[in-house]
Amino acid sequence: MFGIVQFSTGYQLMGLLHIVAAVVAFGPLFLYAPLHRAGETATIARMHVRVSLPALVLLWVFGMGLAGMSEDSFKMSQTWLALSIVIWLALLGLSWFVIRPAIDDRTAQGRSRMAAGLGATHLLLVVALYLMIWKPGA
């Protein structure tokens, strides 16, 4: 689809930064469970606060940049874009209120909270990827 549509260089750069921010925001989350089991809570905490959360914020910045640079057909009235923003807010909430407090908690309840937060995050990531790729309602 993108091979026949002409995008400006600025739009392509913004798209690349958006994808890189997504990889940086969500990539480390796949390491949290094994690191948590190994007792590396300080490593997870540093990675979460210094890497994942800032990248999650940049993901929104670059996504809004893409929406602003798009044609009228991709503005905020699009269902896929509005749902993506709601999912981003849910991901930010999960990251701050569920995963971050569970990082230092080595109890069974802490491990359970970490697993629930990571599982919900991964599920929402898949839904967001679906919305970004197929753009239902566009």
Q: Is residue 125 part of a domain?
A: yes
Q: Is residue 4 part of a domain?
A: no
Give the pLDDT score at 115.
92
Q: Is residue 83 part of a domain?
A: yes
Give the pLDDT score at 62.
96
Give the pLDDT score at 79.
87
Give the pLDDT score at 1.
46
Q: pLDDT tens across 37-62, in order? A: 888 888 899 999 999 999 999 999 99
Give the pLDDT score at 76.
66
Please give the tally of structural domains in the chain.
1
pLDDT at 72 over 90: no
Structure tokens at 2: 């993108």
| DSSP character at residue 7 | -
Q: Is residue 65 part of a domain?
A: yes
Q: pLDDT tens across 78-135, in order? A: 888 889 999 999 999 999 999 999 988 888 998 899 999 999 999 999 999 999 988 8
Q: Residue 100 sits in which domain range?
A: 9-134
For the stretch 43-70, what's the b/e string if a residue is b when 16 or more beta carbons lie within 10 angstroms of its beta carbon? bbeebbeeebbebbebbbebbbbbbeee
Q: Is residue 2 part of a domain?
A: no
Q: Is residue 3 part of a domain?
A: no
* Helix 108-134 × helix 79-94 angle, to 10°: 160
Q: What is the pTM of this model?
A: 0.86
Confidence of residue 68 (pLDDT cuts 50, 70, 90): confident
